[in-house]
Amino acid sequence: MEAVDRIRLQLLLPGSPWEWKQKLLDVMEQGPLGAPTHWGEAEGLRKPYQRETLVRFGDGARRGDDSPVPVLMRTTPPRYNASWSMSDSVPGWLCIDSRMRLRPEDPCLFFELAKRLATVLPVEYGLVDIQFQEAASELLLKEGNLQHPRGYVRWGPDTLFARTFFGPRLVRLMGEASLWGCGAVVHRLDNGAVMLDLLQEPWLQGAAVLKQRQQQVFSQLVRTGIFSRSEAGWTKPGERWVPPSGAEP
């Protein structure tokens, strides 16, 4: 089994994740990765984690003119950093990155955390990206950054990841039958979102196997017309792409 080097989670929501802060913090504190040990008003700052202090800061910051990006940290295994948007822009975003060396049992926990968050939050689109140690760059599921929120609004989602979440709006836009018939492992969550895994237990698969499966499944779902496309070097929206309500390109 190939060792996992890094896992990244990203969820896009119809507003700042802070609008659902109680559910968000409940999952982070009680979820499979364990509670955060520290937090900061911005990346690089670190204070012992106290929920009440974070909530007071977040509520006050949302009434101000600036939009900080708070960070949650866990400094004991499994280590992670979590950050989210505080502004009213649509979509809002939540990102969680693994930190330092992962233990063999950790990848499964990150995937489970993503599922729990996508179940309690009104997810529009989400993903879990996995990178393996010493894997060639051409085997990355996506090079560089994950799904850029503004790019998502303008052009639609980029691609599929080891685990991809489609909110109810996207499911209607794509046509539910397309998801269930694409050959991936598909589950419906309690809030109506659909969770699509390229393969069963993707964290146990190798980089080459996941990349091949990504290409196979994407060739089916690209027909829905919601994914961004490239023409003559330019990125264009999918033929049937409709941005989320309230979003500004």
Give a yes or no: residue 84 inside a domain: yes
pTM for this one? Answer: 0.94
Q: How many CB atoms lie within 10 A of CB 231?
A: 7
What is the percent of the chain with per-residue pLDDT over 90, rounded to a whole number?
78
Residue 31 lies in a domain: yes
Q: Within a domain: residue 241?
A: no
Cβ(166)–Cβ(193) below 8 Å: yes
Q: In what order do the strands lie in the sheet with 163-166?
A: 47-48, 38-40, 71-74, 80-84, 92-98, 4-13, 125-132, 163-166, 194-197, 185-188
Using the predicted structure, report yes or no on whether residue 65 has a pLDDT greater than 60.
no
Residue 192 burial (CB count, 10 A): 14
Inside any domain, residue 38: yes
Alpha carbon 69 to its chain centroid, in Å, reads: 16
Please, which residues have CB within 8 angstroms of residue 43's CB and are 6 or more apart in sequence? 69, 71, 81, 83
- The tally of domains found in the chain comes to 1
Domain membership of residue 153 (yes or no) is: yes
Give the model's pLDDT for residue 68.
77
- pLDDT score of 222 more than 90: yes
Whether 141 maps to a domain, the answer reads yes
Rounded CA separation 27/115 (Å):
10
DSSP-derived secondary structure letter, 183:
S
For residue 157, CA distances in Å to 69, 88, 153, 161, 218 come to: 23, 21, 8, 11, 12
Residue 238 pLDDT > 80, yes or no?
Answer: yes
Please report, as a single letter, which amino acid is at residue 13.
L
Q: Reply yes or no on whether the pLDDT at 154 is more than 70.
A: yes
List pLDDT tens digits, range 3-23.
899 999 999 999 999 999 999
pLDDT mean across residues, the chain: 92
Per-residue pLDDT, 243: 94
Helices (H) and strands (E) in the chain, counts: 7, 12
* 246: in domain: no
What integer is the mean pLDDT of 29-37? 96
Reported confidence tier of residue 233, pLDDT bands at 50, 70, 90: confident
Average pLDDT over residues 211-234: 93
Domain residues for the domain of 127 are 4-236
Bond before 91 cis per omega within 30 degrees: yes
Query: Which region holds residue 100: left if phi is over 0, alpha if psi is between -120 and 50, else beta?
Result: left
Q: Does residue 249 form part of some domain?
A: no
Residue 58: phi, psi to the nearest 5? -65, -45
For the stretch 103-150, pLDDT in tens is 999 999 999 999 999 999 999 999 999 999 988 889 989 887 899 999
